[in-house]
Structure 1
Amino acid sequence: MDFGSARRAVLQLLGTTAPADVPALLHWMRTTRDFDEFTQDNNDVMLKNIADDLRSCLPPEAVLCSEQLALQKLRQQPEPTVHVDAFLYDEDFIDSLCEEGKMSRNYCTACGSHQTAPLGRHSSLQSCYFSGYLYSSAAQLCGVELNGEFCQLQEMIIKKYEFGDRIKVLHADVCTQGPLLQSADVIVMNNVFEYFLTEAEQASAWDYIIHNVRKQGSLLVTVPSLQESLLGLKKTDVQLSCWVEEIPLNLDVCQQSETDREALEQIHLYRVL
């Protein structure tokens, strides 16, 4: 069936739909993920393959044994938290794990067993390099990774998918990368310190970043907000209004029914003054 015939068939189907149900049908057509298999391009497929590759190299919670502080902080959460990386485990994959009994979305509020109340999720592993390579025109994507094991994993993906012409991963402490921070046009920071540094180390790292990220007009993307990240770090005395301005995001452009609105609301965009 060619496009013209398919279009007429769809319109004919709409014409036979009960008038009261047409709005619901149109809303479903605009927001459903049921058409994904027809609209996926090669980049989408490649990202899924990358997730498969990384998932096979990591434990289910995607936290390495070398990340002792992160493991300790996750265990100290007031509610039981399963560390699930959103890039590696989409909702369909999590559903399949739950059906197989390998994961639970619930825990008992009385004893902590996974029974009755929603179970929290946390995500840290970055897909920015790979999605940036596939979906943006950025000339250079440079990441700073403190954990050597994650560096090796990322280098494996970069080599396998031949991303090396635009992606570079530095095994380093961001507090040694002043020139990189000073020259960057866009900086993405997703839960970068909370689970991996002590409060004193977080304060020191933020002081370093604020001192070096001064390129006027450069953009800073953070999860969570800067206000939340800096809250409680007594050694950091920052007037955010003198450093950056927040740019409102239109979250309504993400209309898929399965979009995690709460997760999107954690994303904040700032412009350096």
Structure 2
Amino acid sequence: MSEDNIISVKCRLLELFSTLDNEEVAHVEKWICSHAFKKDLEIKKSLTNSEKSLVKIGKTIKKLIPFNAELPSETIAPPTVGDQADVTKESSCHIDEFLYDDNEVEDLTKQGKLKRFYCLDCNSRNIKELTLLSHSTSRRALQCIFKFLLPKDIEDKQILDVGSRLGAVLYGAYYLSNVGSIVGVEMNKECCELQERIIGQYSMDADRIKVIHSDILDRSDIVHNSDIIVVNTLDHFLDADKHKQIWYFFKKHIKKGSYLITSRSMADTLSGLEIFDELISWITICRPNQMENEVFFAPEDCDEIFLYTVN
């Protein structure tokens, strides 16, 4: 490294340190002097490399599907119950969080490719901000799941993604964890074909990752054999009656001690379906298992990911 580069690095560090108070500087000094930062740096590099793999997959998927990431063969409709019951097709826009992060959404908005507002009565000044929806898990949330919430060593476990759609959770599990078996169950055949295409194109181990074209209600065997079950928002794909049926089904077949990961708090989900009192004692919310990695995640990174254990 040249002398000029060294000076540049020192300037950047001093610029950062100047924003800290004395106590914060002391903590940073202790962290550096203990050499603990070296281990954290290796983890940070690993996160960056896995992020690159997921971004590359996302770029491939973008070329295969419509901009709104909703396939023609899918049936997607706003929910009629719960905390999103007031969302309509007119007041919302789907932008897939696995394919587009916050910076990309900002760029799309600046380029005019994504609109953030809609007119309430056709007068240009009476506008309201659109609700941005995503039916996938963001890359940042996937890192939070596998590098913060779940245990580090899950080599002997099976993870199940219920309604795997584009496969975001499957790819995240593959590149971010050592989980032994990764299974996606998806009702839409076109989505299954897309996931299988990505798995093949990126030479993923077919013995470790697989997609099953089925209604989850027909696969109690897979549910029972899974140790980690991921459930993204289901209410845009199911009516309220079937949504209730699925949670009763899960209560019956998910084995005790399993982890349940959801994109909405179970209190909100069960309350919206009016089954809170019946099912809330079935699960317990739990603390992250990899607290040592807390440094890599801001509080908002995991705000919409919830980890439970099954009682």
Q: Distance in 2 between matches of 1:51 and 1:114?
A: 36
**SS, match of residue 138 in structure 1:** coil
Q: Distance in 2 between matches of 1:196 and 1:18?
A: 46
- The question of 1:148 aligning with 2:148 is answered no
C-alpha distance after superposition, 1:33-84 (max 9, x if no partner): xxxxx95744222211100111111111111222234379799725711101
Q: Which residue of 1 aligns with 2:303?
A: 265
Letter in 2 for 1:129: L
Within a 5 Å distance, the mapping from 1:1-273 to structure 2 comes to: 1=1, 10-11=9-10, 21-23=18-20, 39=45, 41-70=48-77, 77-78=87-88, 80-111=91-122, 116-125=127-136, 126-163=167-204, 164-191=206-233, 193-213=234-254, 215-234=255-274, 238-241=278-281, 243-249=282-288, 253=294, 261=300, 264-273=302-311
Change beyond 3 A, Cα 1:269–1:129: same
How far 1:237 moved relative to its partner?
A: 6.3
**SS, match of residue 61 in structure 2:** helix
More displaced stretch, 130-139 vs 77-86: 77-86
Contact 2:173 2:182 in 1 (8 A): yes
How far 1:110 moved relative to its partner?
A: 4.9
Q: Which runs of 4+ in 1 moved over 6 A?
A: 4-9, 71-76, 112-115
How far 1:109 moved relative to its partner?
A: 4.8
C-alpha distance after superposition, 1:157-197 (max 9, x if no partner): 00011112311110001101111111111111111x20111
Q: Distance in 2 between matches of 1:7 and 1:82?
A: 46
**SS, match of residue 191 in structure 2:** helix
Letter in 1 for 2:61: L
Contact 1:151 1:171 in 2 (8 A): yes
Contact 1:107 1:114 in 2 (8 A): no
Letter in 2 for 1:223: S
**SS, match of residue 278 in structure 2:** coil
C-alpha distance after superposition, 1:124-149 (max 9, x if no partner): 13511001100100011001111111
- Aligned-pair identity in percent equals 29
Contact 1:220 1:269 in 2 (8 A): yes
Q: Distance in 1 between matches of 2:229 and 2:16?
A: 50
**SS, match of residue 216 in structure 1:** coil
Change beyond 3 A, Cα 1:10–1:96: closer
**SS, match of residue 143 in structure 1:** strand
Q: Distance in 2 between matches of 1:260 and 1:123?
A: 20
Letter in 2 for 1:77: V
Output the TM-score relative to the length of structure 2. 0.69
**SS, match of residue 239 in structure 1:** helix
Q: Which residue of 2 aligns with 1:35?
A: none
Letter in 1 for 2:237: F
The two structures, once aligned, show a CA RMSD in angstroms of 3.6
Output the TM-score relative to the length of structure 1. 0.78
- Paired positions, count: 253
Q: Where does the alignment leave 5 or more consecutive residues of structure 2 unmatched?
A: 26-43, 137-166
Contact 2:87 2:131 in 1 (8 A): no
Letter in 2 for 1:119: L
Change beyond 3 A, Cα 1:238–1:260: same
Contact 1:187 1:220 in 2 (8 A): yes
How far 1:90 moved relative to its partner?
A: 1.4
How far 1:231 moved relative to its partner?
A: 2.2
Letter in 2 for 1:90: D
Change beyond 3 A, Cα 1:12–1:64: closer
Change beyond 3 A, Cα 1:169–1:234: same
Q: Where does the alignment leave 5 or more consecutive residues of structure 1 unmatched?
A: 28-37
Letter in 1 for 2:70: V
